Amino acid sequence: MHNFKIEDLVQYLYQETSNEKTAAITAALETDWSLREKYEQLLDGQKLLEVLNFSPRKKIIKAILSQANIPVGELTNEV
């Protein structure tokens, strides 16, 4: 019996687990349909994040820069 948390599945999804944990999660995903469903939801979320294109409004950037005392003119598009 396993006791994997969502955090474990996220690490597994991004290939940040040890070899032992990867093997254990892989085996659990083959037999535990509830765990598999959670993992597939994470996969769907990851795919959605990959296609999102978002950036902060200029007003927000100006507010942050003013707090950091960085002139807006020094801001470049390269981050």
What does the pLDDT look like over 35-76, one tens digit per residue?
A: 999 999 999 999 988 888 778 888 988 888 787 776 666 666
Note whether 37 and 67 are within 8 A (CB): no
pTM higher than 0.75: no
Q: Give the model's pLDDT for residue 79.
A: 47
Q: Residue 7 pLDDT > 70, yes or no?
A: yes
Q: Residue 77 pLDDT > 80, yes or no?
A: no
Other beta carbons within 10 Å of 33: 9
Please provide the size of the chain in residues: 79
Specify the higher pLDDT residue, 77 or 55: 55
Give the C-alpha separation, 40 to 54, whole Å.
Answer: 24
Taking the alpha carbons at both ends of the chain, their separation in whole angstroms is: 45
